[in-house]
């Protein structure tokens, strides 16, 4: 197993921004957490240490029967690689807490689903922690199509966090206010995306949100689509700005509905082209830092593209655009 070589803190957020030399995902195991914690340098953020504390397993319990085991129907979907890393989905989680936190607070049952959490339950544990900063009653159910991954995660259950065998059918008696599906559809064919979106959106509670997207292995670059009952609404681009050479670097992390559409003649290609031009024009602002350059570039971009958020989110290295402006030509996705 690789060691925890280096972590750096993220500008005042109190958690680790970078993860270098960690597990590849499939090679990491839950038993590695204690060794990982011992390898952490003292500068590791308090928030991430709290996450590790929450990840500590409870006493072993007798395996229980999955609520779907009595059904003859198999879970919808296929087993994917399961690659995961601690803190990988921090950008998506922070956006969800900021944008969808009010809906979670208002809900009678603020239920969230981490669909396809992978070979280890880190992302589900972290999702609960982050959602509760915005909605203290929030609860999270991690759903995995691989039964072995569900059983491996069961010792990590606690108040507000449970794990379940299932797939895109989301086999819960209650309808979730949030479904997060990160790095799941990237491993499917583009032609399967629309059906998966429709299936997941049909499971949402009234006013619920599906967030589906892709990020790199340590969460520096992330792009996701937000969907409601009527379909896709927005696309959000998020990055660690200090490591970004140009906005189009995010193209490699486009969600499946867009990744094959980054070609001339497609809206997402035109958007990234214009974003690169705005970024180049904002070069004089780089002397004030990458954040100020990003903000200036987004202000210029807003003149031609329907940017729906404001400076508060731009300062986080984000920009959100209406889906209709980036949707594939011919109705793909």
Domains recognised in the chain with CATH numbers: 1-229 (3.40.50.150), 241-333 (no CATH)
Tell me which of 31-40, 123-132, 133-142 is least confident.
31-40
| Distinct helix (H) and strand (E) counts, the chain | 11, 8
Average pLDDT over residues 255-279: 98
Of 314, 76, 79, nearest in space to 199 by CA: 76
Instruction: Report how far residue 181's alpha carbon sits from residue 110's, in angstroms, rounded to the nearest whole number.
Output: 17
- What separation in angstroms does the CA of 271 have from each of 219, 278, 285, 321? 22, 10, 21, 10
Answer yes or no: are the C-beta atoms of 232 and 333 closer than 8 Å.
yes
Burial of 102 (0-12, 13-18, 19+ CB in 10 A): exposed
Write the CB contacts of 277 (distance below 8 Å, at least 6 apart in sequence).
none
Tell me which of 2-16, 53-67, 191-205, 235-249 is least confident.
2-16
pLDDT tens for 296-307 read 999 999 999 999
pLDDT of amino acid 333: 54
Instruction: Report how far residue 139's alpha carbon sits from residue 161's, in angstroms, rounded to the nearest whole number.
Output: 6
Is the pLDDT at 315 greater than 60, yes or no? Answer: yes
Angle made by CA atoms 28, 223, 120, in degrees to the nearest 5: 20
Angle made by CA atoms 164, 130, 299, in degrees to the nearest 5: 125
3-state secondary structure of 203: coil
pLDDT tens for 41-71 read 333 344 444 444 444 444 333 333 332 333 4
Tell me which of 182-196, 261-275, 303-317 is least confident.
182-196
Average pLDDT over residues 214-227: 97
pLDDT tens for 73-82 read 688 888 877 6
């Amino acid at each position: 197993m690789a060691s925890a070589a280096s972590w750096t803190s993220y500008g005042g957020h109190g958690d680790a921004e970078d993860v270098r030399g960690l597990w590849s995902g499939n090679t990491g195991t839950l038993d590695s957490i204690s060794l990982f914690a011992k390898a952490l340098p003292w500068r590791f953020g308090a928030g991430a240490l709290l996450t590790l504390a929450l990840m500590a397993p409870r006493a072993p319990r007798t395996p229980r029967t999955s609520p779907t085991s009595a059904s003859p129907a198999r879970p919808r979907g296929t087993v994917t690689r399961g690659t995961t890393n601690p803190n990988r989905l921090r950008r998506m989680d922070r956006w969800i807490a900021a944008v969808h936190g009010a809906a979670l607070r208002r809900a009678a049952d603020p239920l969230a689903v981490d669909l396809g959490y992978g070979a280890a339950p880190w992302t589900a544990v972290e999702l609960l922690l982050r959602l509760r900063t915005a909605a203290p009653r929030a609860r999270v159910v991690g759903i995995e199509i691989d039964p072995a991954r569900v059983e491996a995660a069961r010792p990590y259950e606690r108040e507000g966090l449970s794990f379940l065998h299932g797939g895109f059918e989301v086999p819960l008696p209650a309808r979730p206010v949030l479904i997060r599906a990160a790095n799941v559809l990237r491993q499917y064919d583009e032609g399967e995306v629309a059906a998966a979106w429709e299936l997941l959106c049909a499971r949402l509670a009234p006013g619920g949100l599906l967030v589906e997207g892709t990020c790199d292995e340590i969460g520096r670059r992330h792009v996701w689509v937000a969907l409601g009952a009527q379909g896709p609404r927005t696309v959000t681009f998020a990055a660690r700005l200090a490591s970004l050479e140009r906005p189009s670097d995010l193209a490699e992390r486009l969600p499946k509905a867009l990744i094959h559409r980054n070609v001339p003649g497609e809206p997402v290609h035109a958007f990234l082209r214009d974003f690169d031009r705005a970024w180049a024009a904002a070069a004089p602002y780089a002397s004030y830092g990458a954040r100020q350059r990003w903000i200036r570039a987004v202000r210029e971009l807003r003149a031609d593209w329907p940017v729906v958020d404001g400076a508060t989110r731009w300062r986080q290295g984000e920009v959100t655009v209406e889906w209709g402006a980036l949707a594939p030509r011919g109705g793909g996705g």
